[in-house]
Amino acid sequence: MPAIQPLTEQSSKPSIKPQTKQTDSQGWKAHLTLGFEKRSGKSVLASRTQCGPLTVQRPFYPEGDVCHLYLLHPPGGVVGGDELHINVEAAKQANALITTPGATKFYRNTGKLAKQIQILTVLNDSSLEWFPQENIFFDGTHTQLTTRIELEESARFMGWEINCYGRPASKELFNSGKVDTKLEITRNGEPLLLDRLKIINNDALQSPASLAGYPCFGTFIATHVTPQLLEKAREAITGIGGNQQVGITLLDDILVARCLGQYAEQISTILKLIWMALRPEVMGRDACHPRIWAT
């Protein structure tokens, strides 16, 4: 285990271990562990350990306390045999928002699984917002993507996952391969939502009950949502044009919005509207778009 690198906002460059990429068949074994804490009224990236090509940019603060951080994936995407672990913990009243500057690409491989495992832990009185840009699963990829959100009682979370199968913009359809995505939320160890989608070749893409011919699927999640707030989220997207399909539901206090669309942007546009409608009440502040979204 690499030693924990204390890191303050002003502090030094990240220490990156020597490249661990050995051969194509062996793939990257990358880890990134981020710990957020509140210090002197400001949420800071208090610890970081890193091994391999996963890294973050310097945090910045466009809205006071909240720490905005950009996560960078290995340059050139994820290939068969790669194993990427991302662990994020928000503790001690920290408020953090993580996004990525671009899409994550999972390339065609010969059947050697590419794995990405993301564990997002939020402790009491802390919050995490998780808005990575879309995952693109190339035709022929074999990928397993797990996102587990582990919450304590008063931990607040909002986030999304947007998955695109094939590259619709390039007219490349997802015809073969396997993508197994899991999205799990627990509170105090109890499962609140276990969502899993297995795409094997193009069966599910064609199925009218599954992806129904839409290549992109987004899921948005928010905690601490009341039935009144659910109505607000539904109102926020009423009358929006377009051929996407959206459904918003409330599971106990967890709002889940699902959206099928032709393009990732079509989905993120809808999910951002929901985020904007919910953020003032769930997080106690108005939506502040990360600068990178505008580029």
Partner 1 sequence: MTDSHLSLLKLLQLSSPTLPVGAFAYSQGLESAIDSGIIKDSKALRVWLTDSLELSLKHVDLPIFFRLYHAWQNEDLNVVMQWNQILRAQRETNELRSEDHHLGLALARLLKDLDVTEAKALHKRNDLCFITLFTLAANKWNIDIQQAANGFVWSWLDNQIAAAIKLVPLGQTDGQKVLSDLLPKIPNIVEQSTLIEDDDIGASLPMMAILSAQHETQYSRLFRS
User: Is residue 251 within the footprint of partner 1 (CB under 8 A)?
Assistant: yes
In whole angstroms, what is the distance from residue 124 CA to residue 116 CA? 26
User: Is residue 191 within the footprint of partner 1 (CB under 8 A)?
Assistant: yes
User: Is residue 277 within the footprint of partner 1 (CB under 8 A)?
Assistant: no
Of the candidate residues 258, 272, 279, 285, the single one contacting partner 1 (CB under 8 A): 258
User: Is residue 210 within the footprint of partner 1 (CB under 8 A)?
Assistant: yes
Q: Which residue has the tokens 């710990």?
A: 35
User: Residue 150 is encoded by which pair of tokens?
Assistant: 């582990």
In whole angstroms, what is the distance from residue 180 CA to residue 203 CA? 14
Contacts by residues 241-244 (CB-CB < 8 Å, ≥ 24 positions apart): 242/266, 244/214, 244/270
Nearest CA to 177 out of 98, 227, 108, 240 is that of 108
Of the candidate residues 34, 79, 204, 274, the single one contacting partner 1 (CB under 8 A): 204
User: Is residue 271 within the footprint of partner 1 (CB under 8 A)?
Assistant: no
SS percent in the chain: helix, strand, coil, step 5 = 15, 45, 40
User: Is residue 3 within the footprint of partner 1 (CB under 8 A)?
Assistant: no
User: Is residue 209 within the footprint of partner 1 (CB under 8 A)?
Assistant: yes
For residue 211, the minimal CB distance to partner 1 (Å) is 6
Nearer to partner 1, 139 or 184 (CB): 184
Of the candidate residues 15, 16, 245, 289, the single one contacting partner 1 (CB under 8 A): 245
**Size of the residue set binding partner 1 (CB under 8 A):** 31
- Whether the Cβ atoms of residue 89 and residue 70 lie closer than 8 Å to each other: no
Nearer to partner 1, 24 or 203 (CB): 203
- Whether the Cβ atoms of residue 275 and residue 220 lie closer than 8 Å to each other: yes
User: Is residue 249 within the footprint of partner 1 (CB under 8 A)?
Assistant: yes
In whole angstroms, what is the distance from residue 60 CA to residue 65 CA? 10
User: Is residue 269 within the footprint of partner 1 (CB under 8 A)?
Assistant: no
Residues contributing to the site for partner 1 (CB under 8 A): 182, 190-198, 203-204, 207-212, 217, 234, 245-251, 256, 258-260
